[in-house]
Amino acid sequence: MSNELISGSNFIRNIIDEDNRNQKWGQRVETRFPPEPNGHLHIGHAKSICVNFGIARDYGGICHLRFDDTNPEKEEKKYVDAIIETVKWLGFSYQQGDQEHLHFASDYFEKLYQCAEILIQRGHAYVDSQKADQIRANRGSLTERGIDSPFRSRTFEENLHLFRRMRAGEFPNGQHVLRAKIDMASPNINMRDPVIYRIRHAYHHRTGNSWCIYPMYAYAHPLEDAIENITHSLCTLEFSDQRPFYDWVLERLTEAEVFLRPMPQQIEFARLKLAYSITSKRHLRQLVDEGYVDGWNDPRMPTLAGLRRRGFTPESIRLFCDRIGVSKADSWIDINILEKALRDDLDPKVPRSFAVLDPIKLIIDNYAQNSQEDCEAPVHPQHPERGIRTFPLSRELWIEREDFQVNPVKNFFRLFPGNKVRLRYAYVIECTSFDTDIDGKITAVHCQYFPNSKSGTPGADNFKVKGNIHWISTAHAVHAEVRVYDRLFTHPNPEVDEKNFLEAINANAKHVLQAFVEPGLTHVGKEDRFQFERHGYFVVDRYDSQPDKPVFNRIVSLKDSWSTKSKKDKS
Ligand code: ATP
Ligand code: MG
**Tens of pLDDT along 296-344?**
999 999 999 999 999 999 999 999 999 999 999 888 999 999 999 999 9
- For the chain, the average pLDDT equals 94
Banded model confidence at residue 5, pLDDT cuts 50, 70, 90: very low
Output the pTM of the full model.
Answer: 0.94
The Å distance, Cα 492 to ligand 2 centre, comes to: 23
Mean pLDDT, residues 417-443 taken together: 97
Model confidence at 212: pLDDT above 60? yes
pLDDT value for 559: 86
Q: Output the residue whose Cα is nearest ligand 1's atom 1.
A: 281
Task: Using pLDDT thresholds of 50, 70 and 90, give the confidence band for residue 467.
Answer: very high
Pocket test of ligand 1: the residue of 79, 236, 242, 501 to mutate, having most ligand atoms within 8 Å of its CB, is 236
Q: What share of the chain in percent tops pLDDT 90?
A: 93
**Which pLDDT value is given to residue 536?**
97
**Residue 68 annotated as binding?**
yes
Residue to mutate, 41, 42, 45, 304, ligand 1, most ligand atoms under 8 Å from C-beta: 45
List the one residue out of 157, 164, 196, 160 whose CA is nearest residue 178: 196
470 is in an annotated binding site: no
Going by pLDDT thresholds of 50, 70 and 90, the confidence category of residue 7 is: low
Residue ranges of domains in the chain, CATH in brackets: 11-106+219-338 (3.40.50.620), 110-217 (3.90.800.10), 361-434+446-467 (2.40.240.10)
Spatial contact of 405 and 415, defined as CB atoms under 8 Å apart: yes
Average pLDDT over residues 63-72: 97
Residue nearest atom 27 in ligand 1 by C-alpha distance: 44
Does residue 564 register a pLDDT over 50? no
Taking phi over 0 as left and psi of -120 to 50 as alpha, with beta for the rest, 534 belongs to left
Other Cβ atoms within 10 Å of 464 Cβ, number: 8
Q: Which tens digit of pLDDT belongs to each residue from 255-307?
A: 999 999 999 999 999 999 999 999 999 999 999 999 999 999 999 999 999 99
**Sign of the dihedral through C-alpha 96, 97, 102, 103:** negative
C-alpha span between 562 and 568 (Å, rounded): 10
Q: Is the pLDDT of residue 500 over 90?
A: no
| % the chain with pLDDT above 70 | 96
Flag whether pLDDT at 159 surpasses 80.
yes
Q: Is the pLDDT of residue 518 over 50?
A: yes
